[in-house]
Structure 1
Amino acid sequence: MIKLFATDLDGTLLKHGNFIKEEDIAAIHRLQEQNIDFAIATGRMDRDIKKICSEINHDAHRISQNGAFVDSKSNQALLAKTFDAVTSNALHNVISSFSSPFSITTADESYISKKTPELKAMESILYFPLVEGVDFADQYNDAFLPSKFMLLGSEKDIIVLQEKINEQFKDVSETYLSDPRCVDIVPKGVSKALGLRTLAKHLGIDPEEMAVIGDSYNDIPMFEMTPNSFAMSTAPKSVQEKAAHVVDDVHQAIECLTHLVNN
């Protein structure tokens, strides 16, 4: 029996321009009728999830920054993982040596190395503005630690940079393509699957009692932890192949779950 439904945001629930289909919102509200809990698992920050919950008028358990932070819908902090100060300094210096723009995210803010015209255009659809300036490599301390670094650029270039980061920091970091033009660098062990396992333990449910949906490479870890996985039809084929089902929209996945519950 399904007890939790977790959705990715960008490219899944959240369409281009921060648009959410009314059919998807209605389907999320119907989950409650089936006693199915709701969670959002995303690379975005917790403040973005809260904003979306307000827009759809529905609370959610919140897995943010690809699983670095987990908060219950009652705002109980369940997990917070960041890089330590030494690792943060080393990663910062290596990443800043590349020519590609990069960003640094803490629990509360997102900093960008340079607001290029492309990033300024992207910023127009963000819920919160980026803070320009990342000249603080030597300022990391217990009160100021990053949870994610992100490299931006062409897919060909950032994959090469991703391989270099993996080689140099394989013992302390994980990397994911969260978008064809974005590589996320997070603390070792962090993934949406870690976030969901943490949430499942809190809720007292098993992975088999979860259903998940997503569209990108950073969603694969959560696909692999439950047989009830859905990939968006817009996802890369290699991502679709990791899911049990492929659908066009979130509401289609929820309708499928409702059919399973009723039969």
Structure 2
Amino acid sequence: MIKLFVTDLDGTLLGQDHYIKNEDVDALKKMIEHGTPLAVASGRMDHEISEVLKRVGVNGHRVSQNGAFVFDNQNKPVHAKTFDPDLARRIVHEIDAEPMVKTVSTADETFTKEHSHWIDLISEQMFHDIIVKPELHELIGTKVTPSKITLHGEESDVIKAADKVARTFGEEIDSFISHETCVDMMPKNINKQSGLKKLIEGLGLAPEEVACVGDSFNDVSMFEMTPHSYVMSTARDEVKEKAGTVVDHVHEAIEDLDKKGLLKKQEQVVDV
């Protein structure tokens, strides 16, 4: 029996310009009403996940910034991890010459060194503005505590950057493509699987009691923790091969679990 359903946001539940399908909203609400809790696992910040849950009209557990921060559905902090300051400074220094947009995220803010058209485009897809700080590098480790460092750009540049980051920092960090336009760099052993494991440990659940759906490379770690994994049909082939079932929408994953008898049914009230 599935005791926790986990969804990614961008490219999965959340479309362009924050669009959410009515069918997905209805399926999530019905699932929760029947007794299966929801968790959102995203590269986005916790306050952004909270805003999406508010728009959907449901409560849920939250795994934000690819596992850096975890809150349960009672808003209780479960886990938090940020970069070692020296490592963060070394990363931003190393990537400074890359011809891509760089952002540094803390628990609740996103910073960059200089404004550009790309920054405006990125901000439009966020639920908050990116703060421009020309002196950003000097602030890291003092007034800015990074939890995620990101390179943004065209898909072809992102693929090359992801490979270079992996070669440069090796086993020191976790890094992955979280969207076709960005590469996320995280503290070591911080990913969606590690965040979800912290969550389910506190809930007393086993990995096989979890189902998940996502669409990108940062979702692969959670695909690997459970046999009940779903991937969006728009995902790259390398991501699809890591999941159990391909779907077009979140509600299709929920419907498939229901057909398999893996979701709780609302108890029928019988008049006596």
1:16-165 equivalences under 5 Å are 16-133=16-133, 135-141=135-141, 144-165=144-165
Q: CA RMSD in A?
A: 1.7
**Superposition deviation, residue 17 in structure 1:** 1.1
**Superposition deviation, residue 179 in structure 1:** 1.4
Report the residue type matching 1:138 in the other structure: E
Q: Deviations over 1:7-61 (max 9, x none)?
A: 0000100011101111111111111243211000000000101111111111110
CA separation of 1:134 and 1:167: change in aligned 2, threshold 3 A: farther
Matched-pair contact (CA < 8 Å) for 2:14–2:20? yes
Alpha-carbon separation, structure 2, partners of 1:182 and 1:134: 21
Alpha-carbon separation, structure 1, partners of 2:73 and 2:134: 32
- SS of residue in 1 equivalent to 2:18: coil
- Name 2:198's counterpart in structure 1: 198
Unaligned runs of 5+ in 1: none
Aligned residues: 263
**Superposition deviation, residue 123 in structure 1:** 2.1
- Name 1:234's counterpart in structure 2: 234
Q: Deviations over 1:126-146 (max 9, x none)?
A: 211111225232333376310
Report the residue type matching 2:59 in the other structure: D
Give the alignment's TM-score, normalised by structure 2: 0.91
- Name 2:214's counterpart in structure 1: 214
Matched-pair contact (CA < 8 Å) for 1:214–1:230? yes
**Superposition deviation, residue 256 in structure 1:** 1.2
Q: Percent identity?
A: 38
Q: Deviations over 1:147-172 (max 9, x none)?
A: 11100122332333333322332232
CA separation of 1:2 and 1:239: change in aligned 2, threshold 3 A: same
Unaligned runs of 5+ in 2: 264-272
Alpha-carbon separation, structure 2, partners of 1:76 and 1:59: 13
Alpha-carbon separation, structure 2, partners of 1:140 and 1:30: 44
Q: Deviations over 1:95-141 (max 9, x none)?
A: 11222111000001011233322331342232111112252323333
**Superposition deviation, residue 262 in structure 1:** 6.3
Matched-pair contact (CA < 8 Å) for 2:217–2:239? yes
Matched-pair contact (CA < 8 Å) for 1:104–1:134? no
Alpha-carbon separation, structure 2, partners of 1:203 and 1:261: 22
Which is greater in Rg? 2
Give the alignment's TM-score, normalised by structure 1: 0.94
- SS of residue in 2 equivalent to 1:141: coil
- SS of residue in 2 equivalent to 1:36: coil
Alpha-carbon separation, structure 2, partners of 1:141 and 1:62: 26
